[in-house]
Amino acid sequence: MSDEPDFHLFIPGPAGSTPEVIEATGRPVVPHYGGRFVAAYNRCIDLFKAVFQTENDLFLIVGPGTASLDAALSSALPDGARVLVPSNGFFGRRMTEMCRAHRAEVDVVEFPLGEAIDPEAIRHRLEASVAPYDAVAWVHHETSTGVLNPIEPVAAAAKDHGALTILDAVASLGGADLPVDAWGVDLCVSVANKCLAAPPGISAISVSAAAWEAIDANPSSRSWYLDLRTWRRYREEWAAWHPFPTTVASNTIAAISTSIEQILEEGLDVRIRRTAEAATEVRDGLRRLGFEMFAADDVASPVTTSVYAHPELPVADMQRFLMERLIFISGGLDDLAGRIFRIGHMGRSIERGEVELLLGTIEEALRDAGVAVPEGADLENIGA
């Protein structure tokens, strides 16, 4: 066993893993080719499909979620493609930057920080456009603000106007319901190191039949590694021995499979419910300690809680107090830096004992800063 200290990760990813997942990561390295590994690799793909709730093609690309997002955009969007991007935070803005990097003409529909995307506004923009859009690309869980954006009505509006749907589900898969096929998502991207509670290193992308039509019709080529046609060719031509174009992180595949198997054994719906319950307990506990939530309850993500800084305890000071006790939370990004902090509800952090540890230590931080709080206010009625 490792002599590393026990870190308590309440950041919005990566998440703390179970001992079994950690053990799988540390097994002897196996070859990334041949029948034995290919069987394990295909098993991992099937497990991902179960969480995506999809029958579409699915690829496991070595790299962060950004790698699979790049693969989606570079593969499906020809030069000059018209893309509509609903944006309500840092990662929505980053989606805009990525689309433009792939030479798309991007129209952005901006929504205020802390508010969810309005599907009717998206439908209105699609209807009002003189020229059709090739795609609508947006973020499911806007991690910078802790807001969960709608999928199904946005996808329906896009489909009604002949546009592909491209979804960043990097921070939501496994923590919020995401029936990819039922909701009409053509290209959906996520990772294993957030709600699926496995180590970083692998991203996943599902590809619908409509997405393949767009990809095959795309005359532009901006990548070899991140061209989904490359991945499809290797899957077809090298299926039995090496169904991917590069070295795959074999130990990470084993760890991911172990983690998803644990989730599915528990029940995906149960894991999603427990995630939401942990988020509610944290939000309620922080309110009793005098904190104000940044995102309203009706749009708040179950995966990340965003909280205004306490007027008597700067975010940096609270983070420092927590880090000294090996408890990690995240600060705000860009315009929200110093104004909010963010708590992730992923992996081990949704366990009851971890929730109590976090709230109890934040109470200690407040007292250490001279803030008067009722004894045990953080834990009063928790889980009631």
Domain boundaries, given as residue ranges, for the chain? 19-263, 267-368
Let me know: does 205 contact 186? Beta carbons within 8 Å: no
pLDDT of residue 384: 44
| Cα–Cα distance for residue pair 73/263, rounded to 1 Å | 30
Q: How many CB atoms lie within 10 A of CB 290?
A: 16
pLDDT of residue 3: 60
Give the pLDDT mean for 171-176: 98
Q: In this structure, what token pair is assigned to residue 18? A: 């179970």
DSSP 167: E
More confident residue, 382 or 41: 41
| Cα–Cα distance for residue pair 258/15, rounded to 1 Å | 15
Tell me the helices (H) and strands (E) count for the chain, helix number first: 13, 14
Model confidence, pTM: 0.95
Q: How many CB atoms lie within 10 A of CB 272?
A: 20
DSSP 377: T
CATH superfamily of the 267-368 domain: Aspartate Aminotransferase, domain 1 (3.90.1150.10)
Judged against a pLDDT cut of 50, whether residue 238 lies above it is answered with yes
Judged against a pLDDT cut of 50, whether residue 305 lies above it is answered with yes
| Cα–Cα distance for residue pair 36/15, rounded to 1 Å | 29
DSSP 231-257: HHHHHHHSTTT--SSS---HHHHHHHH
Beta strand segments in the chain, E: 8-9, 57-62, 82-87, 105-110, 135-139, 141-142, 147-148, 164-168, 187-191, 202-207, 304-308, 327-328, 330-331, 340-344
Let me know: does 281 contact 269? Beta carbons within 8 Å: no
Ramachandran class of 97: left when φ > 0, alpha when ψ lies in -120 to 50, beta otherwise: alpha
Cα–Cα distances in angstroms (integers) from residue 288 to residues 11, 239, 249, in the given order? 21, 56, 44
| Cα–Cα distance for residue pair 37/5, rounded to 1 Å | 32
Q: Which residues of 152-183 are buried (b: 16+ CB within 10 A; e: fewer)?
A: eebbbbbeebebbbbbbbbbbbbbbebebeeb
Band (381; pLDDT cuts 50, 70, 90): low
pLDDT tens sequence across 307-354: 999 999 999 999 999 999 999 999 999 999 999 999 999 999 999 999
Residues 6+ apart with CB under 8 A from 311: none
Give the pLDDT mean for 40-62: 98
pLDDT over 90, % of the chain: 92
| Cα–Cα distance for residue pair 355/308, rounded to 1 Å | 19
Q: In this structure, what token pair is assigned to residue 216? A: 């095959």
pLDDT of residue 347: 96
pLDDT of residue 209: 98
Judged against a pLDDT cut of 90, whether residue 382 lies above it is answered with no
Band (2; pLDDT cuts 50, 70, 90): low
pLDDT of residue 6: 83
Average pLDDT, the chain: 95
Give the pLDDT mean for 235-242: 96
Band (375; pLDDT cuts 50, 70, 90): confident
Residues 6+ apart with CB under 8 A from 1: none
Band (221; pLDDT cuts 50, 70, 90): confident
Let me know: does 109 contact 85? Beta carbons within 8 Å: yes
pLDDT of residue 30: 86
pLDDT tens sequence across 104-120: 999 999 999 999 999 99
Give the pLDDT mean for 169-187: 98
CATH architecture group of domain 19-263: 3-Layer(aba) Sandwich (3.40)
Residues 6+ apart with CB under 8 A from 15: 9, 193, 194, 195, 197, 344, 346, 347, 348, 349
User: Within 13 Å and on the Cβ side, how many CA atoms surround 134?
Assistant: 21
Judged against a pLDDT cut of 90, whether residue 138 lies above it is answered with yes
User: Within 13 Å and on the Cβ side, how many CA atoms surround 283?
Assistant: 21
Judged against a pLDDT cut of 90, whether residue 380 lies above it is answered with no
